[in-house]
Amino acid sequence: LDLLDQARIDLVRDDARAAAAAPPDETAGDGGRRVARRALLVANKLDAPNAAGNLEVVEDLYGKRFTILPVSASMETGLDELRAQMFRLLHVIRVYTKAPGQKPNLNTPLIMRRGGTLLDAAREIHKDFAHNLKFARLWGARVYDGLMVPREHVLEDGDVLEFHL
């Protein structure tokens, strides 16, 4: 997977400008060629007494260059949005599996690139799984429950697969 550049700023510091030091130069070490990267600036400690003012400073400094996501890890504020943003920026999806006649295992998803297929998911489990696959059934938001899908079917985040070998 492509790496997601992250900057984390603690909003508790009085010297928010120092805390919001510019991210590393994107062209450093590449001979002057510009490198485009996905970035998410996470402003932590939103629950601190002086956080609101410091967040304004950070937004003034970087709001035009970066998506700024204020969070509080201790209060669990903004963490769901942080997870969603990370998945979106990394272009990954979660795909779940289930055994025939059983409920899906929602604790351990397969993490795959967005645009991945049923065959890609089978390969993630094991190369022989993909080779011996007869068919699979799919439960998802955009299909009828238990629909038999071809190997080339493009998966969506949250899909549940039932493999038959």
CATH number for position 156: 3.10.20.30
Least confident of 26-40, 84-98, 131-145: 26-40
- What is the CA angle 2-37-113, rounded to 5? 30
Q: Within this chain, do residues 101 and 63 fall inside the same structural domain, yes or no? A: no
Q: Within this chain, do residues 20 and 74 fall inside the same structural domain, yes or no? A: yes
Partners of residue 94 on adjacent β-strands: 111
Task: Specify the DSSP element, H or E, that contains 109.
Answer: strand 105-113
Q: Within this chain, do residues 22 and 61 fall inside the same structural domain, yes or no? A: yes
In 2-98, DSSP assigns E strands to 5-10, 39-44, 67-70, 92-97
* Predicted pLDDT at 2: 39
Examine the pLDDT at 91 and tell me if it is beyond 80. Answer: yes
Q: Within this chain, do residues 78 and 106 fall inside the same structural domain, yes or no? A: no
Domain encompassing residue 98: 92-164
Entry pTM: 0.67
Q: Within this chain, do residues 85 and 126 fall inside the same structural domain, yes or no? A: no
Hey, which of 39-43, 51-55, 110-114 has the most confident mean pLDDT? 110-114
* Predicted pLDDT at 141: 87
Q: Within this chain, do residues 100 and 73 fall inside the same structural domain, yes or no? A: no
Number of domains in the chain: 2
Q: Within this chain, do residues 64 and 30 fall inside the same structural domain, yes or no? A: yes
Query: How far, in Å, CA of 127 to CA of 41, rounded?
Result: 38
Q: Within this chain, do residues 28 and 52 fall inside the same structural domain, yes or no? A: yes
Residue range 34-59: average pLDDT? Answer: 86
Which amino acid, one-letter code, is at 62?
Y
Q: Within this chain, do residues 23 and 85 fall inside the same structural domain, yes or no? A: yes
pLDDT range class, residue 1, cuts 50, 70, 90: very low
Which of 52, 69, 90 is the endpoint of a domain? Answer: 90
Q: Within this chain, do residues 62 and 102 fall inside the same structural domain, yes or no? A: no
